[in-house]
Amino acid sequence: MKLTKEFYDRDTCQVARDLLGKYLVRMQNGIPLVLRITETEAYIGRCDKACHAWNYRRTQRTETLFAPPGTAYIYLIYGMHHCLNFVTEPEGEPAAVLIRGGEVRGGLDFISRNRFGKEPEALSAYQKKNFLNGPGKLCKALALTREQNGMSLLGDELFVCDSLDDVGLSTPPEDREPLNIQVSKRIGIDYAEEAVDFPWRYLIPY
């Protein structure tokens, strides 16, 4: 079942945790590119100096963070890498979950070509190991850019669902196992003062 607006309209840390193990679907030329979400981070503007909209700062870049829950917030870092976030909490409350990592569950050939420009069988061991272990890698694999910033996650082009059955795929046995969720500090936010220590990173080993 596709996640609803109500799923995102909740405490951001809880949403970040609950997204683990769910399936992110990006439709590309009628083909579902499907990832199992394995790593997330929460960002909450009202109290979090690591959030782009900390203290309710509104700019052209951060405006999407104030959108309704269930909106995609995509930004560019270092002038080259895109990052996908899901807006959470009530409209006007700037908060989001960063999708940091995933595992392929559908559309491998397309994802491999998006990511490396080659077929899966041509990937090196290093490329396979580092396929989707980072937000920029994930966006490249799903062909997501600033063009999709502001897109609804409730539509048919980009969404999250509970089960692979929802996109006509079979669930592998490992996805049926109980989640072993690990919690830690977030990555790459050394500038964020006390927010550096917030335990708002959630992941399942893979």
**Which of the four pLDDT bands, split at 50, 70 and 90, describes residue 184?**
very high
Q: What are phi and psi of 139, to 5 degrees?
A: -65, -40
What is the rounded average pLDDT of the residues 40-62? Answer: 96
Q: How far apart are CA 19 and CA 162, in angstroms?
A: 9
What is the rounded average pLDDT of the residues 176-204? 95
76: Cα within 13 Å, side-chain hemisphere: 8
Q: Mean pLDDT over residues 139-157, rounded?
A: 97
Task: Determine what percent of the chain falls in helix, strand and coil, rounding each to the nearest 5.
Answer: 30, 30, 45
pLDDT number for residue 134: 94
Mean pLDDT of the 135-150 span: 97
- Residue 65 pLDDT more than 90? yes
**Average pLDDT of the segment spanning 29-34:** 94
For strands 201-203 and 81-87, give the pairing. Answer: unpaired
pLDDT band for 20, please (50, 70, 90 cuts): very high
Longest dimension (CA), the chain: 48
User: H or E element: which one contains 136?
Assistant: helix 135-141
> What is the extent of the structural domain holding 198?
5-203
Q: What is the CATH number of the domain that holds 85?
A: 3.10.300.10
| Start-to-end Cα distance in the chain | 24
What percent of the chain stands above pLDDT 70? 100
Alpha carbon separation from 126 to 36, 106, 129, 133, 140 (Å, rounded):
20, 21, 5, 12, 17
pLDDT at 41: 98
Q: How many domains does the chain divide into?
A: 1
The answer to whether 79 and 130 have CB atoms below 8 angstroms apart is no
Give me the pLDDT at residue 160, please: 98
What is residue 70's predicted lDDT score, i.e. its pLDDT?
98
For the segment 108-124, the average pLDDT, to the nearest whole number, is 97
